[in-house]
Amino acid sequence: MSIKPWAVDDELWAMIEPVLPAWPERSPGPKPVSDRLCLQGILFVLYTGIPWQQLPLELGFGSGQTCWRRLERWQQAGVFDRLHRILLAELNAAGELDWSRACVDASHVRAKKRGPATGLSPVDRRKTGSKHHLICDGSGIPLHVITTAANVNDVTQTLALVDGVPPVAGRVGHPRKRPDAVLGDKGYDSNPNRRELRQRGILPVISRKGRPDIKGLGKLRYMVEQTFALLHQFKRLAVRWERRLDLHNGLVSLACALICWRRLKKAAP
């Protein structure tokens, strides 16, 4: 029997349940669908890309509107960002985070509905799109993602990506959030950014325009391409359907947390 990817196992639920906001004891209306079932409904949409209104009621997740409203409530409470940080800390404790370097890159996605952080894509015949800017550790674990309009230059998000990495606990001492080096292609060529990275104690390893690529850089940066492939395996993210940026970002954070969870399960003895 195949395992349904949107099913939430007991181990993952034990991590998620404590960060969910409590439901009001005397809330009006009928008894709400359980949080666990709603989460599975959200995951079903995330994995399949199905429209919310077409979420099958026979699966027991509640209606698409019910799951959408739960997604909205949890995103406002910061649930998915907190879950991502918890799983990063677990990976750090297990020695799975590679702080020796971080890789930055960006990827375009088509946006079916206009909204914040959408624009005419220069690589998709000027169709409306967004861009995911990603920073991952040396082993491809996603640390932070920013969504912008498709026509935003990659170089403008370099420092925002680096500064957006959350403090990651899990080891003795202060939580860590700075990699030793940041690797980027020529799209990140900027002397002011290099100076800012050095001031943060980070070595910039970024190819310069008009010059040959840094030898061996491509082999080190392939991990970020792999991470994008994992992120966009979630069909709801391969094409942006959410008009609201906050809900799209919530799904992105949830996907990053799931990638971390898979890595943690793989690392378990």
- What number is the average pLDDT over the span 134-147? 96
Report pTM: 0.93
Instruction: Report whether 166 contacts 88 (CB < 8 A).
Output: yes
Burial 150-189 (b: 16+ CB within 10 A, else e): bbbebbebbbebbeebeebbbeeeeeebebebbbbbebbb
The strand pair at 203-206 and 128-137 is best described as: unpaired
Instruction: Report whether 95 contacts 121 (CB < 8 A).
Output: no
Give tens-digit pLDDT for 129-139: 999 999 999 99
Spatial separation of the C-alpha atoms in residues 124 and 115, rounded to whole Å: 18
Q: Which domains does the chain have, with CATH numbers?
A: 10-76 (no CATH), 98-238 (3.30.420)
The answer, yes or no, to whether residue 148 has pLDDT greater than 50, is yes
The set of residues, in sequence order, having a beta carbon less than 8 Å from that of 87 and lying 6+ positions away, is 15, 257, 260, 261, 264
Give tens-digit pLDDT for 197-226: 999 999 999 988 877 767 667 767 788 999
- The DSSP call for residue 185 is -
pLDDT at residue number 26: 64
Q: Measuring CA to CA, which residue among 197, 189, 187, 116 is closest to residue 153?
A: 187
Task: Measure the CA dihedral 50/53/54/60, to 10°.
Answer: 100
pLDDT at residue number 1: 36
Spatial separation of the C-alpha atoms in residues 137 and 253, rounded to whole Å: 16
Instruction: Report whether 15 contacts 87 (CB < 8 A).
Output: yes
How many CB atoms neighbour CB 36 within 10 A? 15
Query: What angle separates helix 64-76 from helix 245-267, to the nearest 10 degrees?
Result: 80
Instruction: Report whether 79 contacts 21 (CB < 8 A).
Output: yes
Give tens-digit pLDDT for 79-117: 999 999 999 999 999 999 999 999 999 999 999 888 999
Q: Measuring CA to CA, which residue among 145, 130, 168, 131 is closest to residue 252?
A: 145
Give tens-digit pLDDT for 172-191: 889 999 999 999 988 999 99
Spatial separation of the C-alpha atoms in residues 266 and 193, rounded to whole Å: 36
Token code pair at residue 133? 């800017």
Instruction: Report whether 92 contacts 137 (CB < 8 A).
Output: no
The answer, yes or no, to whether residue 15 has pLDDT greater than 90, is yes
